[in-house]
Amino acid sequence: MPEEILNEIVEPQERDHDHERNGKHGHGKRGHGHRHGKPKESVKPGSLKYVWRSVSHNKGAVAGMVMLAAIVILCVLSPYICRYGYADFNITEWYQTPNWNHLLGTDQMGRDLLSRVLYGARYTLVIGITATAMSAVLGILLGAVAGYFGGFVDSCVMRFLDLFQAFPTLVLAMAFCAVFGTGVDKCILALGITGIPGFARLMRANILRIANMEYIEAARTINCPTWKTILRHIIPNSVSPVIVEIAMTISRNGLTSSSLSFLGLGVQAPKPEWGAMLSEARSYIRDYPHMVIVPGLFIVITVLSFNLIGDAFRDALDPTLKD
pLDDT in tens, 122-140: 999 999 999 999 999 999 9
- Of 53, 111, 115, nearest to 312 by C-alpha is 53
Distance (Å, rounded) from C-alpha 191 to C-alpha 250?
10
Nearest to 145 by CA among 252, 230, 253: 230
Per-residue confidence band for 312, with pLDDT thresholds at 50, 70 and 90 = confident
Per domain, the residue ranges of the chain are 59-90+101-321
pLDDT of the residue at 303: 92
Number of residues written out for the chain? 323
Query: What pLDDT does 9 receive?
Result: 43
| Cα dihedral across residues 55, 59, 64, 66: positive or negative | positive
Please give the pLDDT value at position 10: 44
Provide the greatest CA pair distance for the chain: 123
Nearest by Cα to 244 from 166, 322, 145: 322
**Whether the Cβ atoms of residue 71 and residue 251 lie closer than 8 Å to each other:** no
Q: What is the mean pLDDT of residues 71-94?
A: 88
Whether 199 and 136 have beta carbons less than 8 Å apart is answered as yes
Q: How far is residue 22's CA from residue 18's CA, in Å, rounded to a whole number?
A: 6
Q: Which of 133-137, 246-250, 311-315, 316-320 bottoms out in mean pLDDT, i.e. has the lowest?
A: 316-320
* pTM for this model (two decimals): 0.77
Contacts of 265 (CB under 8 A, 6+ apart): 174, 177, 178, 182, 187
- State residue 89's pLDDT score: 83
Q: What is the pLDDT of residue 31?
A: 44
Give the span between the Cα atoms of 303 and 121, in whole angstroms: 12
Is 274:125 a contact under the CB 8 Å cutoff?
A: no
* CATH superfamily, region 59-90+101-321: MetI-like (1.10.3720.10)
CA atoms within 13 A on the CB side of 24: 5
Q: Residues near 299 by Cβ (< 8 Å), separated by ≥ 6?
A: 124, 254, 255, 258, 274, 275
> What's the pLDDT score for residue 29?
42
